[in-house]
Amino acid sequence: MATDNTLVETSNGPIQGFDDGRAKSWKGVRYAAPPIGDLRWRAPEPPEKWTTVADATRYGWVCPQPVDPRIPIDLGAPQGEDCLTLNVWASSDTAAGDRKPVMVWVHGGAYILGSASQPLYDGRALTSAGEAIVVTVNYRIGALGFLDLSEFDTPRRRFDSNLGLRDVLAALRWVQDNIAAFGGDPGRVTLFGESAGAGIITTLLTSPAAEGLFSAAIAQSSPATSVYDVSRAHGITRLVLDRLGMTASDVDRLPDLGVDVIVAAATEVFYDVPVRNPGTLAFAPIVDGDIVPDYPVKLAREGRSHPVPLIIGTNKHEAALFKWMKSPLMPITPEAINAMFTEIAAEQPTLELPTEDKIGTAYAGLRGKARGMGVARDVGFRMPSVWLAEGHSAVAPVYLYRFDFSTPMLRLLRIAAAHATELPFVWGNLVTGPKDPTFKLGGLKTGALVSERIRTRWLNFATHAEPTGMRGEPEWLPYSEPDRACLLIDKQDTVASDIDTHIRATWGTQVLNFR
């Protein structure tokens, strides 16, 4: 039952959390006003202050999103537009004056799925050792968070860009203002996330608006080059309007439209775009000249990223999950790969794309979809992470990793170390329900040891800005030439030199960025 040690006075008003004897939690904490009505497609506004104690024992609403049977996500809470809330965890013995390091999580989901309340992201395992405060953030996704309507600004109606990014920035400002009251240190905030969440992080690494809001970052499987220009964003906007049966003259009516109608139209566009234009997403950050001044990887390679320590990496078999789900989000067939190359060549005619011989050398012995999975993995995740690591290492320490561990069941399903399979190990939530197949054929004991090692490194990084391991574990050196050290996370951790030498030779130093 709730006790006084979970009563916290925030800058917006008092909240009451819950202490289960292992960890304290505060759920559904409002960090911005409800983004509804006139605030739909507007930058987040401060919430109205309150004086009576607000209940913070239940998760807040989840941003409205499609329900995809191929991706059975337990969102942990009902859907609703009033979704700009966050959750805080601390060990039960944490006091307000402790100044513990803070880890702020940005969930993934291709910029259209997911929530901060997913059971997978329950913060008790990460915080129960008492080493850090954990915060998970809800932000607007899909058309509500990444549809760019700014070209339709009028004196009567204004629309802002990159709303999902602006939400995360607002949450980070809330952390700066409030986390000390929970026992956290606002000067030691590590921003960490996976997939689209990691894409937000690598984008904010070069955003002027994010300066000073976090002191370290962890990007797990970031689609760092999936950031588009305004013209592409406007094309997506018109596709959504077409699905809604609207024209530019009807845009004023959008804030009054039912959210279910918007989600349905956006979902159709979300699945149609990567079929028409393989390798691209419908909804993603855009270069708006404001929150995102230019392509993040380009800026990082020019030495223009925030000088904060960074852990960045990918999984060994990223594309296997998309093949297993029969998802169009990653191009793996020869036809889709060729279409992607054709589009890149048309958009960037001066770019030197790899020849068929180079592709054959880098992916020797692989044919058809197997080769396509390798190409998709490296174009979508591995090379963007390597390119960003190369650039960012000039301004701050970078630690590169690759997650190789897989359980017998995941190998049987031919998923192995696929996209997102590292998440249970990072969070220490290895079995999230009776339908979780991960350990059905064993491997739980080994998996628990893998999880303990990862959490130790992530927590030490948040605490000391260095990802030191447990006693006896290899030293993980910063990424730099000529060694290009990379931590390989498997049954045992190892540190290897330049594991990407062949794909680097294939893809070169020119960044593949869809415009």
CATH code where residue 395 lies: 3.40.50.1820
Binned at pLDDT 50, 70 and 90, residue 310 comes out as very high
Tell me the C-alpha to C-alpha distance, in Å, between residue 41 and each of 28, 64, 160, 218, 241: 21, 14, 6, 28, 15
Report if residue 201 sits inside a domain. yes
Residue 46 placed within a domain: yes
Using 50, 70 and 90 to split pLDDT, how confident is the model at 1?
Answer: very low
pLDDT over 90 (residue 11): yes
Lowest mean pLDDT among 30-34, 257-261, 361-365, 458-462: 361-365
Total Cβ atoms within 10 A of residue 76:
17
Angle 196-204/163-178 helices, nearest 10 degrees? Answer: 70
507 closest CA partner among 366, 351, 273, 399 = 351
pLDDT (tens digit per residue) in 62-87? 999 998 777 778 999 999 999 999 99
Flag whether 392 is in a domain.
yes
pLDDT of residue 515: 56
Residue 454 placed within a domain = yes
Contact call for residues 329 and 281 (beta carbons, < 8 A) = yes
Overall average pLDDT of the 302-330 stretch: 94
**pLDDT recorded at residue 346:** 83
In a domain, 514, yes or no: no
Cβ neighbours of residue 303 under 8 Å, at least 6 residues apart?
391, 394, 395
Whether 102 is covered by a domain: the verdict is yes
Instruction: Please give the backbone phi and psi of residue 36, each rounded to the nearest 5 degrees, phi first.
Output: -125, 165
Q: What is the tally of structural domains in the chain?
A: 1
Q: Cα separation of 8 and 28, whole Å?
A: 14
Q: Which residues are catalytic?
A: 195, 318, 419
pLDDT of residue 181: 98
Domain of residue 371 covers: 4-470+478-507
Tokens of 388: 């960003």
pLDDT for position 10 = 98
Average pLDDT value for the chain = 94
Please, which residues have CB within 8 angstroms of residue 436's CB and are 6 or more apart in sequence? none
Q: Give residue 445's Cα distance to chain centre.
A: 28
Residue 77's pLDDT is 97
How does strand 23-30 pair with strand 310-315?
unpaired
CB 292 within 8 A of CB 239: no
Residue 58 placed within a domain: yes
- Determine the pLDDT at residue 360: 82
The pLDDT value given to residue 156: 81
Percent of the chain with pLDDT over 90: 81
Residue 513: pLDDT band with limits 50, 70, 90:
low
Q: pTM of the entire structure? A: 0.96
Encode pLDDT of 295-308 as tens digits. Answer: 999 999 999 999 99
Domain assignment present for residue 515? The answer is no
